[in-house]
A and B are shown apart, each in its own frame.
Chain A
Amino acid sequence: MLDRELVTEVLAAARRKGGDFAEVFVEERSSTSIRLDDGRVEELTTGLDRGAGVRVAQRTSYGYAYSNKLDRDALLEAAAAASAALRGDAPGTVVDLTDRFGPGTNRAGRAADTVAASDKVGWLREVDEVARGHSPEVTQVTGIYFDSLQRRLIAASDGRWIDEERPRIRLVAQVVAKRGDVIQTGWDGPAACAGVEFLDAHPPRVTAERAATRAVTMLESIPAPAGEMAVVVANGCGGVLFHEAVGHPLEADAVDKEASVYRALVGERCASELIDGVDDATIPNGWGSYDFDDEGEPAQRTELFRDGVLQGFLQDRLRAAKIGVQPTGNGRRESYASPPIVRMTNTNILPGKEDPDQILRSTAHGIYVRGLGGGHVNPATGDFVFGVSEGYLIEDGHVTTPVRGANLIGRAIEVMSSVDVVGSDFETWEGVCGKDGQSAPVGSGSPTLRIAKITVGGTGA
């Protein structure tokens, strides 16, 4: 995208006052999004984005400047702005820029730009037909198709030069069902860092069917009970909970600011001994996978919990250098318009031994959670809350009536310590995580697991 001579010049300019390192991030991204709503393909949008950001870091301080112009003048101006905040006055060096190659984690089988837009439109029509065909109670269907190809170049004053392509694809179905005055919604949206071959394994009709089933099932729902009870979390959902309630406080920026409930607990048991947890950016074609993170560090699998004992934190370059450990490849950014921050990739609770059906059978009374609508955690206190988008009563070991309006509320350490059975099944869930105003594609996964006691908020008796 840019030649090495120019990048070297920009890096040198960025280090005019020294600093620990300077870095240039250049990005070109083409994207297609198609939206079907109300029975019609409403909108087809294509975008071309490009820009570059220059960062200069000193300890955990940084200056960052970006522009969407890629000419020499604009880049040198960004370098000058990024280094303005630095207090030093001795220029730093720039090592010869040398290619680093990754394993090719996210190769696309069939690139999205080789497929006609009319085929992509066809997938959405299929979503609409299948969802409406599911039940006459389905009153509205939204289908969204999205693909993008991001090409990025990362170069830094220590000589790293990385050129990586990331293809992304997602197909979302959102269904509204209505019976009398009751309106309920259902959602499904598989996603990957892959080409359109991903939709062979996750066909649009399956996505549509799942979303429609959820919406129609929830029409039967009764208000959720409130109070403390056992909650069985279905495979896939537990990963969302783990990401939000545990993963965020394990990000090194929260730890560095002493704003993490886990900050002094490495080596301590602070989850049930049944919990093994990892953050893994190396899963081929995973929604949160890559070869190198957005600072140019190699992707890795980072062990977070082994038998419930906290193993360590997720690091970026700045935080790792400060405390003298290796970066874990978790420096990510939304685009050239944002500096990298510490983020998760694919965050999973690993499968255990129990038969998932047996977990339900052995639960006398509680809630079975099959869909979480997302959540929020305060990393400093560990307090979290999750909306339950699909939940059911468990009565005498059987999954019975669906419930609505439930949420799960608790504190990360207490709730993770209260997990008393972990299933052998494993499922993933793809989402978009927001932090510091930046969004990032993240994967999560888990087996079925049971929390012996947690507060459920609901409106029922």
Chain B
Amino acid sequence: MPEIGALVRAAVEAADGDEQVEAYAEEGRQTEVSALRNEIEGMTFAESRGLGVRVIRDGQLGYAWAADPSEDEARETVWRARENAALSESDEHNGLPAAESFEAMPEIFREQSATVAADDKVRMALELEAYSVSRDPRVSKVDLAQVGDAVSRVAIASTTGVDVEYARTDAWAVVVTLAVDGDETQTGFSYAITRGLDALTWEPVADEAVERAVKMLGAVKPPTAKLPVVLDPFAASSFLGVLAGALNAEAVLKGRSLFADMVGRAVGSDAFTLVDDGRRLDGPGACPFDGEGVPSGRTELFTDGTLNGFLHDSYTARRAGDGQRSTGNAKRGGYRSTPGVGTSNFFVDPGELSYDQLLTKAEGGVLIMDVSGVHSGANPISGEFSVGATGLRFQGGATGEPLREMTIASTLPQMLAGIAGVGSDLRFFSSVGTPSILIGEMTLAGV
């Protein structure tokens, strides 16, 4: 079995004439253990490897991929990508990026965590579940209590001189609790992600999932009203995916982003600064280079409310012209797909206000703890959204009455312009992160 570095180099050596060839390979091992009623509910071990090849000839792009190929099959993958290129149409902006030097990020591979024994993971999942159902008499069961970790390696080589590799470790804990009171059931979700299971403190995850479920017991549907709203990091992070879609240069260049003509304009309030930073080590999306080997960097998309620009890969940078460079945001869903513009660590820059100070500024308003339906209810092209929400009323310095079956409908620019304060409590959820955010006024539709 060839090393992935050897595999990508073998593929690149199969280049023909002056065509461009890029080979991307990844391999990984992943374990997930979930516990239910003091037993192992499920334990999954995964081991995977694969190769994806881009061939560009005369501006025509073809892609082919294969699971666990030999070196011979890697060369066959190049042939198939070449055949596919012949059928696509030429685009002068197609091309591979030139090799650039980058600084390695050894911190994202944690040796100790790559060697945590399976028995320890089983024990951790069982403890996580047992602890979760011991914190509150109304929470005696979980929907999910799971720990998982992964070790992965990526190698990219190309005819333009790219020859790079990196390794990473990730670990996570997820809890969904069920709080029951009479006929009513509420759920509470929490999640933590870090570099290794040996570095993961899971008790706060369970505590938070319990608290979030219990606080929602007794929820009522409120009357429709315009109120100040605080989005906690769970709720606020749901909107970041939509923002990322609209700040993707490909969407902009193809007329699919509402922000296309807004560069240089004060779209958001001056409290709003939005960053993508692939080198930020405390974010789960940290990586030394992107899906086509371009070094990761820091891009400030909004500064004090003003839109600066967009996220680029090498294709969109070339097509945008004007000296635009790739921002190192070519991302891949895996070896099965071509790279496209995506986020690394994409986050709202935290402000000065503590969570409590932020709530005080929202006196008489609502703390939104969860929004649902964002993937279907928000349109990154028009910027309109309409989502379901749950949360707590906030009055007299404390959170109170829980609310359900509310909807929030607005547009992204309106919401960004309405930001009246940003908390200091930045928290990452997968590759997006945000602190709590105060919006001066929003319509909450209920009865």
Contact = CB atoms under 8 A, between A and B. Distances in A.
A and B interact: yes
Interface of A: 34, 37-38, 40-51, 59-69, 78, 81-82, 84-85, 117-118, 121, 139-140, 176, 178, 182-185, 223-224, 226-228, 257-259, 261, 337-339, 372-376, 378, 380-381, 383-389, 404-407, 409-411, 455, 457-459
A60 to B, nearest CB: 7
B299 interface: no
Given A140-B254, A375-B376, A380-B143, A385 B409 contact: no
A380 B36 CA distance: 16
Interface string B185-222: 11100000000000000000000000000000000010
Given A45-B337, A61-B42, A387 B64 contact: no
Given A183-B381, A227-B445, A258-B141, A176 B255 contact: yes
Given A68-B67, A378-B372, A409 B42 contact: no
Contacts of A178: 255
Report which residue of B386, B404, B446 has the largest number of chain A beta carbons within 10 angstroms of its beta carbon: B386
B395 interface: no
A69 B386 CA distance: 46
**Main SS of the interface on chain B?**
strand
Given A44-B88, A407-B373, A257 B65 contact: no
Given A49-B66, A455-B445, 15 more contacts: A43-B61, A44-B62, A47-B65, A47-B336, A66-B45, A82-B45, A85-B118, A226-B407, A381-B187, A385-B407, A386-B377, A387-B386, A407-B407, A407-B409, A457-B388
A381 B186 contact: yes
Contacts of B141: 257-258
A43 B338 contact: yes
A259 B187 contact: yes
A176 B253 CA distance: 13
A231 B255 CA distance: 33
Contact of A386 (B41, B67, B373, B447): B373
B407 A45 contact: no
Given A176-B381, A387-B376, A405-B409, A62 B42 contact: yes
Interface string B72-101: 000000001000110111010000000000
A404 B63 contact: no
Interface string B403-447: 011111110000000000000000000000000000000010111
Given A66-B45, A383-B404, A404-B384, A373 B445 contact: no
Contacts of B186: 380-381
Contacts of A59: 39
Contacts of A339: 42, 44
A383 B405 contact: yes
Interface stretch (B12-20, B46-54, B300-308, B346-354): B46-54
Contacts of A459: 384, 386, 409-410, 443
A37 B315 CA distance: 14
Interface string B159-191: 000000000000000000010000001110000
Contact of B224 (A38, A44, A51, A226): A226
B80 A176 contact: no
A257 B378 CA distance: 31
A140 B255 CA distance: 7
Interface string B373-405: 101111101101111101000000000000011
Contacts of B44: 63-66, 338-339
A183 B382 contact: yes
* Smallest CB-CB A-B distances: 8 pairs: A457-B407, A385-B388, A374-B376, A387-B377, A385-B373, A373-B376, A387-B376, A44-B84
A380 B64 contact: no
B338 A407 contact: no
A296 to B, nearest CB: 19
Contacts of A228: 447
A185 B89 contact: no
Contacts of A258: 141, 178, 185
Nearest to A178: B255
Contacts of A37: 254
